[in-house]
Amino acid sequence: MARPICFWLQYFAFLMFIGPFVSYALPRPPRPPQSHQDPSYLKFVSNATEFPSEDYYDYIIVGGGTAGCPLAATLSHSYKVLVLERGGVPHGETNLMSQEGFLATLMEADTYDSPAQPFTSEDGVQNARGRVLGGSSAINAGFYSRADDDFYKKSGVNWDIRVVNQSYEWVERAIVFRPELKNWQSAVRDGLLEAGVDPYIGFSLDHSVGTKIGGSTFDSTGKRYSAADLLNYARPFNIKVAVYANVERILLASSSPYMGSRLSAIGVVYRDHTGMYHHAIVREHGEVILSAGAIGSPQLLLLSGIGPRPYLSSWGIPVAHHLPFVGQFLFDNPRSGVSIVAPIPLEHSLIQVVGITESGAYIEAASNVIPFVSPARSIFIRTPSSPLYLTVATLMEKIIGPLSSGSLRLASTDVRVNPIVRFNYFSNPVDLQRCVNGTRKIGDILRSRSMEDFKVRNWFGGHDFRFVGPALPVDQADNHLMEDFCRRTVSTIWHYHGGCVVGKVVDGDFRVFGIDALRIVDGSTFGVSPGTNPQATLLMLGRYVGLKIIGERTRYR
């Protein structure tokens, strides 16, 4: 049943492109053709119900997401690997596999089964996390740009930059493409340059101050590629992927019979969708590696008795290891922006151009097609025989960092239930000023010549934008007005991170403090967001750590 226009536009506001009305209607663009060839990784992917009640592996990776898939593919060339993914397979899911299906994927979210799992932070901001093989790389806007130099310096990791670059290139050969700019993205590029976000870098995967075109994980037909496609690199006889597998806890045991000996991860317990339990156990010298993301990894540590002793005791969870900072230092980069409708049709585009400023903000843009359904039947309105689709364009800013941090705590001992999170947006005044800087830059872009074609004629014979949702304050020199705009319009760009930060929960090799054979390899270890968008760095991270682990074991044989 078609939903009314107000529903779509209200939901649009949560996602990226907000608005309660439109001015231009056009037929829906044709869906890009989909390949019918199955990816090779499907040969080693099975439903968790098909797995034995107990089995043994060298590496057990919890989470087949943005970092977990490249990590598994890499390790499989030397060791027997099991990937446990709580969601299903993206291949064959039309909305997941196409750029056009981006909004529908986020709108069709439910509590237990959808590829996008919704949650709302205590700050009141709606958000989503990936629940599908490929993780958030299978539901995101596809932008690909490498980390900034400051990320490597501040991350607490002693990076081997040669291996970092090799790992990026390994990813890029398989799933990264150069996007083709059309009218909206081209106008934003030109507007950024008029607004002083220079120099013009052109197409680049590297992070540099100025205006650039980044990479995309959508190809020229609009087909999505995700971390799941990196499993095609794997050695098939050495890897198994279980989907619809919910890991409930990490199995821990003393590394020796003596009192006070260190604990070691020896495996995990997971349930399939019928409720049957399975045990996956690591072989000698093997490891359990959490790649469940900034929400899932700290949650699983807490449910396994690894975390602050008083907090775990308050839940009646037996304390295996006191680690006070699990779930702390949780960050989300706040986003603010404006949306407009235009007197001309716009292409469907996700993020392709970025303005990297020197004032602590990144500027990005998108345009998206939404369905328009006419009001209730009326004798004065003829219902069209086919639906119409409308385009809304957005300019947005995301701040670097951020410095404001929050925390995560359990809502239930059921791993399927989202934890309670609070990000404390703008609790650090530096973040608020960076938002003001970014929104002022959006104002500069709107005043550029490049934006003239997107204005409409007003009642007084002039031309102006038709804003959808809040417009920027008229007096953008007034800091208080701009700060208020940032607070009122704050939303997410889905770049949350932290909760198991390097130096607090894991060391520089991503090993959990105080527990042997347990690592965390995902965005929960980041204390700062890498560059404009974290996807590239997370994909690199999986490959990088996999190579490092193989190197370590080769040296100590």
User: Which amino acids are annotated as binding site, given as ranges?
Assistant: 85-86, 132, 247, 494-495, 523, 534-535
Q: What residues have CB less than 8 Å from 165, skipping those under 6 apart? A: none
CB atoms within 10 A of CB 475: 9
Residue numbers belonging to the annotated binding site for FAD = 85-86, 132, 247, 494-495, 523, 534-535
**Residue 91 φ then ψ, to 5°:** -60, 130
- Cross-strand pairs, 318: none
d(CA 132, CA 138) in angstroms, rounded, equals 7
Instruction: Evaluate whether 366 touches 224 at the Cβ level (below 8 Å).
Output: no
d(CA 128, CA 124): 13
Told to judge if 495 belongs to the known catalytic residues of this protein, a careful annotator would answer yes
- Distance between CA 285 and CA 232 in Å, rounded? 26
3-class SS of residue 493: coil
| Short-list 509, 381, 495, CA closest to 143 | 495
Residues in a beta bridge with 395: 338, 365
Bridge partners (DSSP) of residue 265 are 252
Omega within 30 of 0 (cis) for the link into 199 = yes
Measured between alpha carbons, how far is 545 from 504 in angstroms, rounded to an integer? 19
Is 103 exposed, middle or buried (CB count within 10 Å of its CB: 0-12, 13-18, 19+)?
A: buried
The catalytically annotated residue of 207, 321, 348, 495 is 495
* C-alpha to C-alpha distance for 310 and 55, rounded to whole angstroms: 34
Measured from the Cβ of residue 395, the count of other Cβ atoms closer than 10 Å reads 26
- Structure token digits, residue 62: 């919890």
Secondary structure of residue 128 in the 3-state scheme: strand
- Residue 303 token pair: 């449910």
Residues in the chain: 557
Question: What tokens were used for 249?
Answer: 């806890």
Dist CA 74 CA 81 (whole Å)? 10
Helix (H), strand (E) at residue 446: helix 429-446
Active-site residues, by number, are 495
